[in-house]
Amino acid sequence: MTELFNEWMPNVIAYLDKFSDSCAATVQMFLIAGAFTFVFGFLFGVILTTTRKDGIAPNKVLFTCVDIFTNIFRSIPFVILLIFLIPFTRTLVGTAVGVKGAIVPLVFGATPFYTRQIESALATVDEGKVEAARSMGSGTLGIIFRVYIKESVPEVIRATTITAISLIGLTTMAGAVGAGGIGSFAINYGQNLHHQDIVNVCEVLLLVCVSLIQIVGNTLAKETTNKALFTHKTK
């Protein structure tokens, strides 16, 4: 087996320590940035849904602020966003390079996308159920948790899956400008040194990661959809 690895990917074996560090950096960026993206994106998505003109808690000022923030940062290409946020990132975390310096632009890049995904997911909830909950005396928080979130679980899972896959792509792009990770390893040790086996391994690894995330997301969405349908039928 070792001989096979040495034959098919000799340069990966030669830089195995750096490859392992790059994988760890990518996982670290994905998990930390993903956690912040999930929290802020979900919060902003709920705000946009509930504070719109015909929402359950209309608030023109709050809606406009979140909407403008989302539109601005969603429209900026990520590579340009990385450069644009360098002063802010240095002020906030003390550096604009490495894993630590990549977290801030990753969050700013992924959160607007996830916000719109959550907004779309919550928009699938039947307004009749919202009105029914309101007529029964449910408050804003009650409607959010018992109606919007509960009824849109499959859609939220699909939105989260799409965003997670997109975030993996952003981490590799961040690596191209000094953030480290698999993207940086593929460019510095693969493309720049003309080691095609390194590029191939990085590509296959990313493909496997994306496929696994998609499979898990599809499975969870299917299970929650079937559960919701079963619950409605039994009622």
- Give the residue carrying structure tokens 């709920």: 46
**Mean pLDDT for all residues in the chain:** 89
Length of the chain: 235
Residue-level pLDDT, tens digit, the chain, 235 residues: 567 667 778 888 889 999 999 999 999 999 999 999 999 999 999 999 999 998 899 999 999 999 999 999 999 999 899 889 999 999 999 988 888 889 999 999 999 999 999 999 999 998 889 989 988 888 889 999 999 999 999 999 999 999 999 999 999 888 766 778 898 899 889 988 889 999 999 999 999 999 999 999 999 999 888 655 444 444 4
pLDDT for position 234: 44
81 neighbors 174 (Cβ within 8 angstroms):
no
pLDDT for position 2: 67
pLDDT for position 235: 47
151 neighbors 129 (Cβ within 8 angstroms):
yes
Give CA torsion, residues 146, 150, 151, 157, to 10 deg.
Answer: 160
pLDDT for position 5: 65
- What domains does the chain contain, in order, with CATH numbers? 2-234 (1.10.3720.10)
pLDDT for position 165: 96
pLDDT for position 160: 96
In this structure, the number of other CB atoms found within 10 A of the CB of residue 125 comes to 18
* Structure token digits, residue 176: 């191209």
Strand, coil or helix: 77: coil
What residues have CB less than 8 Å from 32, skipping those under 6 apart? Answer: 103
What residues have CB less than 8 Å from 162, skipping those under 6 apart? Answer: 117, 217
